[in-house]
Structures are given as structure tokens and as C-alpha cells.
Structure 1
Amino acid sequence: MFTDAAAAALYDLLNPWDPARHPADAFFTDLVMSADAVLDVGCGTGGMLHHARELGHRGRLVGLDPDPAALDRARRRADVEWVAGVAADAAWDREFDLAVMASNAFQCLVGDEELAASLAAIRGALRDGGRFAFDTRDPRARAWEEWTPSNAREVVDASGRTLRVSHRVEAVTGDVVTFTETISAGDGEVLRADRSSLRFLDVPALGAVLGEAGFEVEAQYGDRPGRPVSEAGRSILTIARRV
């Protein structure tokens, strides 16, 4: 059995926080380092906030995530506040200068009610004029078409075991893509399979939901800061301000 803890460790192996290599990581790191109080919504294993502390951030850092195994890894650093829960249930009142959802976590807010409740709670957590930054995959790039077993990734874990991670799309319904991630051993034995859904919102749709939630879009970029959103890009980086 491939445990939740093993899955969290595998996530870190496949997705290390690395601003030197990944423009989106650099985008969020710069924002975090310039803010005194930061809320990381969907913090996962805590890579972004760990890195901020390593760079010398001296303010308040809070990570929020519903996954106990991911939070167990995040808690390897005790100089960050780690909170179990989902965005919609957050009850902070104007305590943060910046809220972030990195690594496309925003796309996990699939239903209209969940999205509206989450944005309302994030807005409530921000001080007047506070900023909310997040990234999403641009639906025009149709990234899900590459989520096939033939595009599987292989990695060697800390024990020396070879693991294969593959994806298969089950359904595309409107702007929601449902898929299965399968983790297999080197000999092909399936160790774990998880089904997930992600919502792909384009620029107009993002502007609409943010406006309804009391945010104003301050800036939007393509695959990296300063680059405009374009059909050739794969990502949308958004900074919205509480109004």
C-alpha cells in the first residue's frame, strides 16, 4: 500500500520549490518576501513558506491545507503556523497583507459555491488593500490533452525504488476536467490511484468571479511575470486586490 505520507514525499520529489528554475515559483517568492503577513492557501507540504524562512522572512507566515500528510511534512519547520482546513472555512479577519494559492491550487476550487465561499474567506483574511495572488493553467493550452499514460514520469525515491506516475483523463465537462493519477512500481504493479477534478477558468471568467467576491484585478501575466497572457502561454498569473 502506498500511504498518504509516501504520496506527500513523492509530491516533494516531483515538485520541488525552486525559484531559480521555475518562473512561477520566483513570482510567488518575490511577493511573499515583500509582505509582512502571508497566508498560503493550499500550502501542501509547505515548500514555498519553508523557502521564505530560509531566505530570511521575519514576518508572519501561515499555511492552510486540508491534507494531514502534507501538513505533517510542512511541520518540519516550526517557525511557520500550520493550520488544517479548507479556504471556505477560514475565519481570519483582516490579518494578512498577502494571500497566495501557488502551484495551481486555485483550480481545486471546482464548484461555484465552494469557489465563492473560498474567495469570500480569503478576502476577509486580507487587510484593506491586501493582495491575493494565484496561478492557473490557461484553458486555451488544453494541458489535459497531455495527461496520458504515455506521458508518465519516472522517479527514484529516497529508498532507491523506481516509481512511475501517470495520468488518464476521465471526463471534460464544461470547464472541469476529471482525471486519475496512478502511481506504479517499476514492475508495473499499481500502488495507488487517486481521482481528482480541476477547474479551468479563462481570463474573463477569472475577472468575473474575482469581481463578484470583492476583488479588483491588479495585474495578470502569462508564463512569467511581465509576459502578457497569450494563446501561446500555458499559465495565468493573477494578482488581485481587496477593494
Structure 2
Amino acid sequence: MNQEERLIRILNYLEIHKTMNIKQMCEIFDISRDTARRDIVELTNQKMVVRTHGGVALPSFHKKIDDYRDRLRTESETKKLIGKKAASMITDNEMIYLDVSTTVNFIAQFLKARQVTIVTNSIDSAYVLAQSEDTTIHFLGGTLNKSTRHVTGFSAIEKLKDYHFNKVFIGAAGIMEDGIYYGLEEDIYFKRELIKHADQVILLTDHTKHNHRQNYRGLTFESIDTIITNKSMPNNLYKSIEEHGVEVLITDTE
């Protein structure tokens, strides 16, 4: 196992257990203490972890993935405009999927199309949509993630295979020239399965995600049909997106 693979597994372990000491690293990965220390140095330099006495831990406030409620407040007006634009793309009688993204959640507030069937794993989207008489809601099963207010896990991924969507609306933790990034490993497997069952994949992202890298590259631009954002992309990013024929829609900020 090379260092990159080991670092990913260390981060996965920390997502569950929060802390990890050198002895555990040595036993789990069958490595020397010197190798474990080099891994700690690398993760610390990347600001993925903080050092503790004898090991590492996740930062008290994870700078890579903000608390869900904080993300919902951040750039909320911008996200509303993006969500409103996305909602206008939905037509009557479509089958769509709404991701757990805080930006995607705003679609539910502005949905005007009638007799739409919506599949989601977001508690907040399902709650808002439940107020509408013109929608049929399918809620994926799985394990509840209390902090992000959505269900996840193997059963949620498997259930996706029962559907075919006219459109899916997804978010991102970051966008780089080589694709779409997410903060958790499980996100990439979910997104990759999701896009297999869609006619059109629409990515919603505000400008804070432009040229921003996260832990895992989940999708390439070949998987995306349309990007809705609030500001023009940086030249390097736009060039890469344009090469893949992705449509970019910029919201009216007035």
C-alpha cells in the first residue's frame, strides 16, 4: 500500500473514530513508527488533521467541510438564486433527483412544475416538498447522517438502481480543472451510481467552490451536462469545462 492510499484510509478511520494514535497506525497498516510519523507530517501539512499527543485527530471545526447549518447560511442569497434557476429547468411530469447539497435544497422552494416525481435523500428537501400537492416524493432508505441531515449507505446506493431520472441535480464540495470534488469517500460512489440513471446531470455550485479541491475527486466533466453558478468561472477552469462541452449558466445577481 502506497502513502496516498494509506492517507485516504487514515482519513476514513478518523471520520468514524475522530482520533488515531501511532500504535494504531502501525498495527492497522503494518508499518513502522517512522512511516507513521511521515504520514502524520503529510496530513498535517495538508491541514487535513491536527496533531495530538501520540497521534492525530480531526480538527474541532473541519475547515474542509463546514457544519451543514453553517453551509446553509453561507452565501444563502446566492444559493437561492441558483436554486431558483435550477427549479425553472424542471418541467411537468418529470422524474428528478435532488441531492443533499445546501444549494440544491433551494430548488424545493421554487419548484413550479406540476405532477413531478422527486427522489431525494435530503430530509430538508423532502420536508419542503411535502407541503406541495403536485409532487410525489420518494425518500431513499439508509443510515441517517445527523449533521448533514440526509441518509446514506449501501442501501441508499442500491435503491438508485430502481430509478431512471429525466434530470438529477447535484452539488459539489469543490471544482478543479480535472473534475468535481467531494469531502467524503462515500459521496463519490453515490454520485457515480446516480449519474448512470440520468438523462441530464445538472451541477449547482456557487463561486466559493471554483478552483477549490477536496479530499476525493468524484466525477469528471464528462459526467456533467450543465453547471449553474453565480459568477463567471476563472479562465483555467472555464477552459477545461468548455473542452468537455458543458453548458454553463450564470444566475442574475440583481
The structure whose residues are more often strand, as a share, is: 1
Alignment TM-score > 0.5, same fold? no
Q: Which has the larger Rg?
A: 2
Q: TM-score, normalised by structure 2?
A: 0.42
Q: TM-score, normalised by structure 1?
A: 0.44
Structure with the larger RCO, 1 or 2 (CA within 8 Å, 6+ apart)? 1
The structure whose residues are more often helix, as a share, is: 2
